[in-house]
């Protein structure tokens, strides 16, 4: 049960990290899109409750809770493993296309990027566009695409590696839950299993 409890705490750690990073991004003004932050916090709360269900199921040796925990954790593993592999597999051209699609589809992220990276426009800045960067006052702004491309590869490798690490702890949790679920309850009547 100790190794199973360790898996529950690693899932709770991931959930609290997601919630903390989202709150940090809002608190420091790095992210102004409440939709993005809301989704990250919702995923963190969901993972926290799933870990709590698994922990209660392990302590009480409740077969149904352990089964649902195991199935949901397996689904989380599949999604997280897929996203991590996708992050690690993107080449520079695909990263550039992904950045351009994100740039053209969201105004709030565009404003955040311009303000935080002190740049204007994606590849070219036209004088009739608006820009939230401080460099606009000096009229000497760099385009945002080269700056974002410089960081995107590093960030995708970091996120993919962390996601891959925690996805393997999740599959370990599925295996340990399966093994623990099939054991006899030590608090039960021993003669009931004969």
Domain boundaries of the chain, sorted by first residue: 1-61
For tokens 């009547």, the residue is 189
**Residue 166 CB neighbours (<10 A):** 19
**pLDDT value, residue 51:** 81
**pLDDT value, residue 184:** 63
**pLDDT value, residue 193:** 47
**pLDDT value, residue 44:** 78
pLDDT block averages, 10 residues each, the chain of length 194: 62 72 60 65 81 82 84 88 85 83 76 78 73 72 82 81 82 80 61 50
Closest CA to 143 of 87, 105, 96: 96
Beta bridge partners of 142: 119
Buried b (16+ CB within 10 A) or exposed e, 122-152: beebeeeeebbbebbeeeebeebbeebeeeb
What is the pTM (predicted TM-score) of this model? 0.69
**pLDDT value, residue 194:** 47
Longest dimension (CA), the chain: 84
Instruction: List phi, psi (to 5°) of 125.
Output: -110, 125
């Amino acid at each position: 049960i100790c190794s199973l409890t360790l898996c529950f705490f690693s899932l709770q750690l991931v959930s609290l990290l997601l919630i903390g990073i989202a709150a940090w991004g809002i608190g420091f003004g790095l992210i102004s899109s409440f939709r993005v932050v809301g989704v990250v916090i919702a995923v963190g709360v969901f993972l926290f409750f799933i870990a709590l269900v698994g922990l209660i199921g392990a302590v009480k040796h409740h077969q149904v809770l352990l089964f649902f925990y195991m199935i949901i954790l397996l689904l989380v593993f599949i999604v997280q493993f897929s996203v991590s592999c996708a992050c690690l597999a993107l080449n520079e051209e695909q990263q550039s296309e992904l950045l351009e699609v994100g740039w053209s589809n969201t105004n709030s992220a565009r404003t955040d990027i311009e303000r935080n990276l002190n740049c204007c426009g994606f590849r070219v800045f036209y004088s009739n566009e608006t820009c939230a960067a401080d460099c606009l006052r000096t009229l000497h702004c760099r385009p945002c695409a080269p700056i974002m491309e410089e960081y995107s590869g590093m960030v995708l490798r970091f996120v993919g590696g962390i996601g891959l690490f925690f996805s393997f702890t999740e599959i370990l949790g599925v295996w340990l839950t399966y093994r623990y679920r099939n054991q006899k309850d030590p608090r039960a009547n021993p003669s009931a299993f004969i």
